[in-house]
Structures are given as C-alpha cells and as structure tokens.
Amino acid sequence: MFNFLRQVSNYTKETIQAARYIGQGLSVTFDHLNRRPVTVQYPYEKLIPSERFRGRIHFEYDKCIACEVCVRVCPINLPVVDWEYNAKTKKKQLNHYSIDFGVCIFCGNCVEFCPTNCLSFTEEYEMAVYDRHELNMDNVALGRLPYKVTEDPMVTPLRELAYLPKGVMDPHDLPASARRAGKFPSEILAEQKVEEKQERSPSA
Ligand code: SF4
Ligand code: SF4
C-alpha cells in the first residue's frame, strides 16, 4: 500500500514537472507568434556580407613578385609559390601560385602582409564541393572575381544586422534610403582626413 502511494506521488510530481516544461516551451512559441519572420530564403535571398568579410582570397598574378612573404606569415605555410630565377631580368619569375582553401583558416595574414597588395579578400563564401581537392585553387581560379550579392539578378540582397537602421531587426521590405546605424567606412575615412588636415594646419 505504502509503495503504491509513493508511486502515485512520484507520478503526480513528474506530471506537474512535464506540464511546466511544456508551458515554458509554448510560451516561447506564443511569444514568436507576434513577431515578423526574419528568415532568409536562401538561395533566392542572400545577406550582403560585411565590408570586412573574409571570404575566398583573390590573387593578381601580374602584381606578384614571388617574394614568399605570404608563405612565411601564414601559420601553416599554405600558399605555394612556384618561381624560377630569370637570368635575363635578374629577377624571380612566377610560374604558378596556389592556395588550398580546404586547409586555409582565413586568418588574413597573407593579405595583410603582401607587399604588393596582390592578395585580397572577396565576399565569396559558397565554396561547397564534393571533393575537397577542388578547393586547392591555382592562380587562374584565384584570379576569378566572384559575383557580388548586390549585382546578381537571380538574388534578392538583404542587409545583414550590421547594415540595418537602429532598432530594425528585419531586413525585408526595407527602403533603399534607410540609413544603417553607425557610419560607413568611407565616412570614417573622410572624417579622419579632415581631422588630419586640421591637425596639420590648426589655424585654417
Ligand atoms: S607576398 Fe604577395 S607578392 Fe609576395 S609571393 Fe606572396 S602573393 Fe606574391
Ligand atoms: S588566410 Fe591565413 S591560413 Fe589562409 S593562406 Fe592566408 S595566411 Fe595562410
């Protein structure tokens, strides 16, 4: 008899606990019923990557001087710079250049330290392949510029959180004139230039 009563008591406690958990879960659901959906319907809609997005690296063959700085600053010595000495010009001559994006950690050291700025980040992030060896890109593949989200006629570009006006969370149906919260990098640079000018000639 005592055992039976204990079982009933335990069962009741568990039922109450379960009902409380269900209530908690449903309260979140009901809370979202009042909100507008912010889901991005990829691939028909895509978020515009931020200015400092570190996507696939772009390489300009003609600018490369085969100095191998990119290899030395890379934490995994990843870029492969294949060059030979040209006795005529007495300079290094670049034959091939490649980066394996299956291994790259997109740290940006090579882009940062390249003395001729022949490396730069693009906004390309769609790099899914069936064979990881396809991610090993040579200088031809690296020289290709990706389609910009804002220029792709098949895609509706949406502003990501950093580009939205203050207090706005939903990028859909936003008028093009709506200003983002904060300043554009170009505005910050322009302000810096004005400040520098004023510092150089305080009387002006
Ligand atoms: S650092 Fe720049 S210039 Fe030097 S080898 Fe690398 S990509 Fe070429
Ligand atoms: S982004 Fe970083 S890991 Fe990738 S190649 Fe450049 S230095 Fe190496």
φ, ψ (nearest 5 deg) of residue 91: -135, 160
Tokens (6 digits) for 62: 């003609």
Task: Show binding-site residues for [4Fe-4S] cluster.
Answer: 64, 67, 70, 74, 104, 107, 110, 114
Task: Show binding-site residues.
Answer: 64, 67, 70, 74, 104, 107, 110, 114
Q: For residue 144, what are the domain limits? A: 46-158
- Identify the CA nearest to 163 among candidates 182, 188, 149: 182
- The answer to whether residue 200 is domain-embedded is no
**Residue 122, pLDDT above cutoff 90:** yes
- The answer to whether residue 118 is domain-embedded is yes
- Look at residue 203 in the predicted model and tell me its pLDDT: 59
Tokens (6 digits) for 167: 């207090």
Tokens (6 digits) for 44: 């028909």
Q: In the structure, which protein residues have their CB atom closer than 6 angstroms to any atom of ligand 1? A: 64-70, 81, 114-116, 118-119
Going by DSSP bridges, is the β-strand pair 57-59/45-47 parallel, antiparallel, or unpaired?
Answer: unpaired
Beta strands (DSSP E) in the chain are: 45-47, 57-59, 80-86, 91-100, 119-121, 136-138, 156-158
- The answer to whether residue 178 is domain-embedded is no
Contacts of residue 59, defined as CB under 8 A and 6 or more positions apart, other chains included, come to: 97, 99, 118, 119, 139, 142, 143
Q: In the structure, which protein residues have their CB atom closer than 6 angstroms to any atom of ligand 2? A: 74-76, 78-79, 99, 104-110
| Range 135-142 average pLDDT | 96
| Range 100-128 average pLDDT | 95
CATH number at residue 122: 3.30.70.3270
% of the chain with per-residue pLDDT over 70:
99
- The answer to whether residue 189 is domain-embedded is no
Are residues 166 and 181 in contact, defined by beta-carbon separation less than 8 angstroms? yes
Q: If pLDDT is split at 50, 70 and 90, which confidence band does 179 have?
A: confident
Say what the alpha-carbon torsion angle 129, 131, 135, 137 is, to the nearest 10 degrees: -120
Residue in 68, 83, 109 to alter for ligand 1 test, most ligand atoms within 8 A of Cβ = 68
- Look at residue 167 in the predicted model and tell me its pLDDT: 82
* pLDDT tens digits for range 140-175: 999 999 988 889 999 999 988 878 888 888 888 888
Q: How many domains does the chain have?
A: 1
- Look at residue 201 in the predicted model and tell me its pLDDT: 79
DSSP tally for the chain: helices H, then strands E? 5, 7
Q: Does 180 or 98 have the greater pLDDT score?
A: 98
* pLDDT tens digits for range 41-92: 999 999 999 888 999 999 999 999 999 999 999 999 999 999 999 999 999 9
Q: What is the mean pLDDT of the chain?
A: 91
Ligand lying closest to the C-alpha of residue 68: 1
- The answer to whether residue 192 is domain-embedded is no
Nearest CA to ligand 2 atom 4: 104
| Range 128-133 average pLDDT | 94
**Residue 204, pLDDT above cutoff 70:** no
- The answer to whether residue 122 is domain-embedded is yes
**Spatial separation of the C-alpha atoms in residues 107 and 122, rounded to whole Å:** 13
- The answer to whether residue 141 is domain-embedded is yes
Are residues 162 and 50 in contact, defined by beta-carbon separation less than 8 angstroms? yes
- The answer to whether residue 137 is domain-embedded is yes
- Look at residue 168 in the predicted model and tell me its pLDDT: 84
Q: If pLDDT is split at 50, 70 and 90, which confidence band does 202 have?
A: low
**Spatial separation of the C-alpha atoms in residues 40 and 156, rounded to whole Å:** 10
- Look at residue 126 in the predicted model and tell me its pLDDT: 92
- Identify the CA nearest to 146 among candidates 125, 130, 167, 166: 125
Residue in 107, 111, 138 to alter for ligand 2 test, most ligand atoms within 8 A of Cβ = 107
Tokens (6 digits) for 28: 């979140």
